[in-house]
């Protein structure tokens, strides 16, 4: 148990993803005390009853860790995938208030916010998330915000893992029927799917239970071919970087006119799996010396703890950041 608990208040940060949810309990000085995990808390993927069960599980882990500490939680911030609309935010917040009746400061936002805070430490800026999907979001000092893309793999998500994987498969098919040049992706992708030929490849993808995930997983093969200087893979990667650059430039034009040194946080699985895409994107963004891209030093759940701190204090000092970094 934490000493002097009666004189201290505590924070909870929640990162609610599409596949898993992570939460941490910390002191208001930034010391991490405990971590809790559950599966997805995306309100678009599960019903309210299941959502409440999963949130309850997260919070019970902290209650069991130390009941006195849990009773002193003063602020909660949840960054949640699928909570981009007011109904989803309010529903999630209502459950938190039900489970934490003594906690006065509870806020729920889309997961773009805590992802941004993981790199800016609570300051304004632009977040580029690129994983299976792709979303770009920015917010300035006045609270003006803008979002680009994130429309899903069928209608958008340009520059995402799905986009790169789909372009990889298309290049194999174009090479096979004569519309495109030879590429070492042909053998890589057929081997990955254990296919004898392109017809078998198409059949397996169309019959897959989750074709989006299957195609997105091919992105790592495109990364490999890019590093091997395969011209087709180079073109795919350049195209993805240009798509993401366009999204970032659009957000910048919408909410950061007249600003200098706008931080651009590159977050998500694509940037974690390879430096190739982030390096290409940085090259394109370098043409605009106002935009300052970087990879976040914290996980998104620590961005949520920063959000919880901002609920009760305007100042995120160096001591708080160093304490958060320590564990």
Indicate if 247 and 211 belong to the same structural domain: yes
Paired tokens of 66: 């130390």
The single-letter DSSP state of residue 32 is E
* 4 pLDDT more than 60: no
Bridge partners of 79, per DSSP, are: 15, 109
Q: What would the mean pLDDT of 173-202 be, rounded to a whole number?
A: 94
Residues 247, 309, single domain; the answer is: no
- In tens, the pLDDT along 290-317 reads 889 999 989 999 999 999 999 998 888 8
Tokens of 188: 């890589």
Answer yes or no: do 219 and 303 share one domain: no
313 and 249, same domain (yes or no)? no
* 151 within some domain: no
Q: Do 192 and 280 belong together in one domain? A: yes
How far is the C-alpha of 127 from the C-alpha of 117, rounded, in Å? 9
> Which pLDDT score, from 0 to 100, does residue 250 have?
96
Please give the sequence-ordered ranges of beta strands (E in DSSP) within the chain, or none if there are none.
10-16, 20-27, 32-39, 73-80, 105-110, 125-130, 134-139, 145-149, 262-267, 291-294
Range of the domain at 66: 5-103+298-325
pLDDT at 7: 57
Q: For all residues of the chain together, what is the average pLDDT? A: 91
Residue 73 belongs to some domain of the structure: yes
| Predicted structure pTM score | 0.86
What's the pLDDT tens digit per position in 212-269?
889 999 999 999 999 999 999 999 999 999 999 999 999 999 999 888 889 999 998 8
Q: In the predicted model, is pLDDT for residue 210 greater than 90?
A: no
- Three-state SS letters, 180-201: CCCCCHHHHHHHHCCCCCHHHH
CATH number at residue 195: 3.30.420.40
Residue 156, domain member (yes or no): no
Q: Are 264 and 313 in the same domain?
A: no
Do 165 and 289 lie in one domain? The reply is yes
Higher pLDDT among residues 148 and 272, named by residue: 148
Give Cα separations from 48 to 13, 69, 94 (angstroms): 20, 28, 11
Name the domain count of the chain: 2
23 is a domain residue: yes
């Amino acid at each position: 148990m934490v000493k002097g608990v009666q004189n201290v208040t505590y924070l909870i940060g929640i990162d609610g993803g599409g596949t898993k949810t992570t939460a941490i309990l910390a002191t208001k000085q930034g010391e991490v005390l405990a971590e809790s995990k559950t599966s997805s808390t995306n309100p678009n993927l599960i019903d309210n009853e299941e959502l409440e069960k999963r949130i309850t599980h997260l919070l019970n882990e902290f209650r069991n860790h130390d009941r006195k500490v849990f009773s002193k939680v003063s602020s909660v911030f949840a960054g949640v995938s699928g909570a981009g609309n007011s109904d989803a935010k309010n529903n999630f917040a209502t459950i938190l208030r039900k489970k934490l009746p003594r906690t006065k400061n509870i806020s729920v936002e889309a997961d773009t916010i805590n992802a941004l805070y993981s790199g800016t430490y609570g300051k304004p800026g632009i977040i580029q998330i690129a994983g299976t999907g792709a979303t770009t979001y920015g917010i300035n000092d006045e609270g003006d915000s803008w979002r680009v893309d994130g429309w899903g793999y069928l209608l958008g998500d340009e520059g995402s893992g799905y986009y790169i994987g789909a372009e990889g498969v298309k290049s194999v098919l174009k090479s096979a029927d004569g519309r495109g040049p030879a590429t070492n992706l042909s053998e890589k992708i057929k081997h990955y799917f254990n296919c004898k030929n392109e017809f078998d490849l198409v059949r397996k993808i169309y019959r897959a239970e989750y074709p989006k995930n299957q195609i997105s997983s091919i992105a790592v093969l495109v990364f490999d071919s890019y590093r091997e200087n395969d011209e087709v893979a180079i073109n795919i990667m350049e195209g993805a970087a240009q798509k993401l650059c366009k999204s970032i430039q659009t957000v910048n034009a919408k909410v950061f006119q007249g600003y200098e040194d706008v931080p651009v946080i590159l977050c998500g699985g694509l940037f974690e799996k390879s430096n190739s895409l982030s390096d290409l994107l940085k090259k394109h963004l370098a043409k605009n010396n106002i935009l300052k891209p970087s990879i976040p030093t914290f996980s998104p759940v620590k961005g949520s703890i920063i959000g919880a701190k901002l609920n009760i204090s305007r100042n995120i000092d160096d001591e708080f950041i160093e304490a958060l970094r320590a564990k």
